[in-house]
Amino acid sequence: MLPTTLTLISPEKLSSLFDPEGALAAHISGFRPRAQQLELAQAILSAIQSNGQLIAEAGTGTGKTFAYLVPALLAGGKVIISTGTKNLQDQLFQKDLPTVRDALQAPVSVALLKGRSNYVCHYHLARAQSDGRFATREDVRHLGKIAQYAKITQSGDKSGLADVPENAPVWMQVTSTRDNCLGQECPQHEDCFVLKARKEAMKADVVVVNHHLFFADVMLRDEGVAELLPACNTVIFDEAHQLPETASLFFGESISTSQLMDLARDARLEAATSAKDFLPLPLAADALDKAARDLRLVFKKEGRLAAIATESFKDFSPALKTLNEKLNHLAGLLEKQAERSEGLESCWQRAQALAQQLKQWQDGDVPDKVRWLEIFHHSMQLNTTPLSIAEIFAKQIDGHPRAWIFTSATLAVKQDFGHYQAEMGLLEARTECWDSPFNYQEQALLYVPPALPEPNSEGYTEAVVQAALPLIEASKGRAFLLFTSLRAMQRAYEILVAEFDRKNLKYPLMMQGDGSRNELLSRFREHGNAVLLGSQSFWEGVDVRGEALSLVVIDKLPFAPPDDPVLAARIAELNKQGRNAFMEYQLPRTVINLKQGAGRLIRDETDRGVLMICDPRLISKHYGKRIWQSLPPFKRTREEAVAVAFFDVPN
């Protein structure tokens, strides 16, 4: 299926839609024309009509969602929009797209496509009901609600069932994975929610996906996007600053203990229904499950490790050897029983594939790739990641002529996109930058406190909290404290609990992990004077408008940890080439992360507040100026009294 011929739209027609008397203002309450938004929309229309590549940074408040939706819907053809998270995906599909479509009266059909783990699977739901073995009574209760939901839902999307938390363990038993889907052999194939979502996406003019799904599919040809791409005229990546990390994840290979434990569970369940008389099979499945858990237990702490670092863990090699043996033994038994059911056949195929992946990882280092491990709370993953994704991604976007648009509030360093272009292989792309329409000189103040110790010194977190306390009192709570590590966040929380008690401060104190992100944000807004401590997941994608958030404190410049194995390997490779890895790679990534954190403060034209960056390197190091010059044009001070007084000025 070839891309559709596009409708030619004149710049004048596009401009008229954004006018004070245009279609958007007439249909959207509170819509205000912004020069930056119109210019961004014109650049996007030009890229769509010329099948070009555009990298566009648009500061907070530009209204970039409308800026890409209007030209995309007007130009016609098939459009794929990829967002950073499932939350943004839902907002785009349920709110923004219908709003713009109605305003333009555009006759376009829209579909939402998520990864298969977001849809109830009839086959696995029935199997979970017949198995009857659950860890908790809550699992049983959740299963009953999911079963009822499966009978009435049109989409099967688990986000439509608010009564069962998205992270409830039972979801893993009632959804499919790429590994355990039976495909056309499934007895419930005709009623499959995943297939239904894919069919709707194939027919729709505009399809909303997320970055994980896009790249999983492009590499694995699994989730339906690969079928969409040939007929697609335009691909738009919103929150495009996340792409290098996501693409690296999928352009590499990985195998996890979770996959092996899932295989063991599925083999045990299939044996119970289709091979009850073959007792060695469930025993072999249990042995694989134990071997996978034992491999995880070799490591006491969560984190990332280079493959070579496993040599210092004497139990790792024997545990990996045992895992190999148990997996191969189970694969052999499954081969003998495979013809007895589609489920057993599927388990045998999975066991073979996983054994091959495990062998590949153990075979040793591969040129231009780095081998490493990631240890999570209950599982671990063995990864092989390319040192550079530029060439791989450049190949992915060659082929059929189509437009590729990459947009975010944070892509450039002092309006220079060189780092992003090099990392993504987009050397020929047009680049454009639009500042936020907000008046940062009036609305916001950047405060870097004097006399703080070096960030790696003992007692640094204590010093940060003591420096922040006068501002927390001046702002009457209403603060985010953002940390570069969970340990620093937890230590700061302990200090603040004691200080609030000592000073008799009554501001509600909340910390990441005390509930889901959405729950915490909802409570934060309701209180109106709360103090919330967060780590990585609160640095971006968080939108609190109005007086509830008037102070953002950042403890350190967010440099990635130097012992991260992928980062260390990429730095070593750049330095080997005679390049400056710090200036070319580490610093630009830090600037983009810092811009995300700083972007939490001013979300609206009436917001006011102080951004407090505690890291003295912003002033003392030669690269500090490059960092703060990449931030919005805040008024700046190093005097605590000036920062405190900023809260006294009436809105």
Q: What domains lie within the chain, and their CATH numbers?
A: 33-115+194-250+388-434 (3.40.50.300), 120-175 (no CATH), 254-386 (1.20.1440), 440-648 (3.40.50.300)
Which pLDDT value is given to residue 153?
95
Tokens 């272009």 belong to residue: 421
Segment 87-118, tens digit of pLDDT: 889 899 999 999 999 999 999 999 999 988 89
DSSP result, 173-190: HHB--TTT--GGG-TTGG
User: For residue 557, is pLDDT > 70?
Assistant: yes
Over residues 122-130, the mean pLDDT reads: 90
CA distance 79 to 75: 10
Q: What angle do CA 477, 480, 481 make, to 5 degrees?
A: 110
pLDDT tens digits for range 225-236: 566 677 789 999
- Percent of the chain as helix, strand, coil, to the nearest 5: 55, 15, 35
- Overall average pLDDT of the 51-72 stretch: 95
Share of the chain above pLDDT 90, in %: 77
Least confident among 394-408, 416-430, 487-501, 550-564: 394-408
pLDDT at 548: 92
Question: Token pair for residue 244?
Answer: 């290098």
CA distances from 366 to 318, 362, 523 (A): 23, 11, 49
How far apart are the C-alpha atoms of 160 and 650, rounded to whole Å? 43
pLDDT in tens, 451-509: 899 999 999 999 999 999 999 999 999 999 999 999 999 999 999 999 999 999 999 99
**pLDDT at site 206:** 95
Q: Is the pTM of this model over 0.85?
A: yes
Which DSSP string corresponds to 342-356? HHHHHHHHHHHHHHH
Per-residue pLDDT, 364: 81
- The pLDDT value recorded for residue 4 is 62
- Give the model's pLDDT for residue 217: 75
Angle at 295 between CA 293 and CA 300, to 5 degrees: 95
Question: Helix, strand, or coil here: 636?
Answer: strand
Tokens, residue 495: 């200090």
* pLDDT interval class at 221 (50, 70, 90): low
Per-residue pLDDT, averaged over 146-168, amounts to 91
| 613 has a pLDDT exceeding 90 | yes
Q: Given a cut of 70, is residue 609 above it in pLDDT?
A: yes
Q: Which pLDDT value is given to residue 5? A: 64
pLDDT value of residue 225? 56
Q: What is the mean pLDDT of residues 548-572?
A: 93
Q: What is the model's pLDDT at position 415?
A: 92
- Distance separating alpha carbons of residues 232 and 137, to the nearest angstrom: 47
Percentage above 70 pLDDT, the chain: 97
pLDDT at 461: 97
Q: Each residue of 236-266: pLDDT tens digit?
A: 999 999 999 999 988 889 999 999 999 999 9
Gap between the Cα atoms of 578 and 403, Å rounded: 35
User: Residue 3 above 70 pLDDT?
Assistant: no
| pLDDT given for residue 650 in this prediction | 58
The residues near 573 (Cβ < 8 Å, ≥ 6 apart) are 387, 388
Q: What is the pLDDT of residue 150?
A: 94
